[in-house]
Chains A and B, each alone.
Chain A
């Protein structure tokens, strides 16, 4: 594959991530903050997010396993996860968190456990998608090309 083809593939893949709701405009904000002086900004922030989300998901699993569930605590974890997923534009994770908080308010343990599964799934999905995207970016750069600018494409 030549660089041109790789770049086109990247554009198509990125568009699909937005169209399928995995990412929203906040992710574009992150891309706009990346430049020559900060070429790895998006990867760095996304990595930070997944470290954060993995820790929170473990905390949530533990909290929901307790014989007597502390819903305030569970809600505070979900609130944090909602906040950071929203900040990187991981909109399906964010939406799953919003649903989760409703069950916390109702103090519905089963509902919360179901939501936790949902959030874990969305987290894993977007993680895989972004890993694929970053791999494409590495290949483009290794072949001497530059990552397309979504703004320029008019997306």
Chain B
């Protein structure tokens, strides 16, 4: 798995203490939270889970920053579109990847225009995550 290690270690915005990429999972569904948490963990990525867009904003307001944000679209309190807009307005430049099971293009368009770097259709798989990590790494090198 040299390929994975290369991918994971080549990113600038890492946790300085552990040297690992950090990620924030934003999803209201417990099944998805558990799977995504384990997926990221198995690839050596430190990650935190929150249940909606507002919690994602709050965690950033508390001063935390993440190399990668996996943002679900449909969530209560504040959805993924609004949360992405707010994070960008706050000056957050890290990689935000929209993740949703919606297939209708108009919704995805609005989501992308809110400030996403990438969009992946659920369910997430190991190979989708690896392609996301390549983006995170490329962005860090820019």
Contacts and interface: CB of A to CB of B under 8 A. Distances in A.
B109 interface: no
A33 B38 CA distance: 7
B101 A45 contact: no
Contacts of A80: 29
A87 B39 CA distance: 12
B126 A83 contact: no
Interface residues of B, number: 15
Contacts of A44: 34
B62 interface: no
A32 interface: yes
B105 to A, nearest CB: 16
Top 7 A-B pairs ranked by shortest CB distance?
Answer: A84-B31, A87-B123, A83-B101, A33-B38, A49-B31, A26-B123, A29-B125
Given A33-B35, A35-B42, A45-B35, 16 more contacts: A29-B123, A29-B125, A30-B35, A32-B126, A48-B30, A49-B31, A52-B31, A79-B74, A80-B29, A83-B32, A83-B122, A86-B122, A87-B31, A87-B35, A88-B31, A89-B123
Interface of B: 29-32, 34-35, 38-39, 42, 74, 101, 122-123, 125-126
Interface of A: 25-26, 29-30, 32-33, 35, 38, 41, 44-45, 48-49, 52, 76, 79-80, 82-84, 86-89
